[in-house]
Structure 1
């Protein structure tokens, strides 16, 4: 299998590991300079990240133990898309499952790439407003506690590195830009 891939040439592809969430592969390549080499990539299921905000400019975040970090984190609601699930439907499902929230107004704030050099995992970013609340239906791997805080407190938590989850940081800062620039609204 020889395949041109931008300025690279893939000579051979070896899938090292695969499960329902992650795929790791190593390609034998000719680099752009013509030298032989290898390039490894990690592909994760596409995901969504959602920031619910209420009429009092308070946001609902998820506090949970994150296995990879070995500690509790605070972040926006997020999760993977199911097979062939549209991002908007996944966003609606995730805020209901994790925090029991439904929203009547949605804004898509773009896509975030975790790490463009070795990871392929687009994360679709959403702002959710006009909220109603029900019982959450968390998965067996989740022990999520809802955290309701003023929006500007969440922004400050990003700036102080108290929120470090990449999609959360980008979504909170994008939401701040959108909310402060639309109709001249001040959140402070």
Structure 2
């Protein structure tokens, strides 16, 4: 049965691939111009991105090998939400697992959509303050190096393309804007 989807009409849907993190779907559609077509979408688990910052203005980032890129990447702490897990709980879990950090103050900086054309994956952004450091508990797939740099240096790395990971770029820029405006 045909289903309206904004100006599109979905005539048929087929699941092309699915695992615990990703779902690839192919829809046979009527395009907004009325012509038949196909649209493929990817749905990923929602995610969190966390930028811990201490009272001196030092931020704590990760450097890790990223399989898909085939090279190391400098990033904020990121991770996926478990089913029915609140975003803040996931943020607290991820920053403790990856860097061994807990925080007494959490500032929500909104969310963004990873890619609005074919990917559905909201990423919730957090600034973590009033930090305490403990032992990290990284997953077996992670080889994470903790980097400590001033926020201004992180902002410059975004502008110089030394940090290219999308959620990291957005969060670092939002954090810089939020902290410079005194919010």
Displacement of 1:110: 0.6
Q: CA–CA distance in 1 between the matches of 2:83 and 2:62?
A: 24
SS in 2 for 1:72: strand
Partner of 2:156: 156
Structure 2: 5+ residue stretches without partners: none
Q: CA–CA distance in 2 between the matches of 1:7 and 1:48?
A: 31
Partner of 1:19: 19
Displacement of 1:103: 0.3
Deviations 1:108-145 (A, max 9, x none): 00101111000000000000000000000001110101
Q: CA–CA distance in 2 between the matches of 1:104 and 1:151?
A: 19
Q: CA–CA distance in 1 between the matches of 2:110 and 2:68?
A: 26
Displacement of 1:178: 0.4
SS in 2 for 1:88: helix
2:113 is aligned with 1:113: yes
Partner of 2:77: 77
Q: How many residues align?
A: 183
> How high is the TM-score relative to the length of structure 2?
0.99
Q: Superposition pairs for residues 1-188 of structure 1, below 5 Å?
A: 1-182=1-182
Displacement of 1:89: 0.1
Displacement of 1:107: 0.4
- The runs of at least 4 consecutive aligned structure 1 residues that moved more than 3 Å come to none
Structure 1: 5+ residue stretches without partners: 184-188
Displacement of 1:48: 0.1
Q: CA–CA distance in 2 between the matches of 1:111 and 1:162?
A: 23
Displacement of 1:95: 0.2
SS in 2 for 1:139: coil
Deviations 1:5-25 (A, max 9, x none): 111000000110000000001
Q: CA–CA distance in 2 between the matches of 1:5 and 1:79?
A: 30
> How high is the TM-score relative to the length of structure 1?
0.96
Displacement of 1:2: 1.1
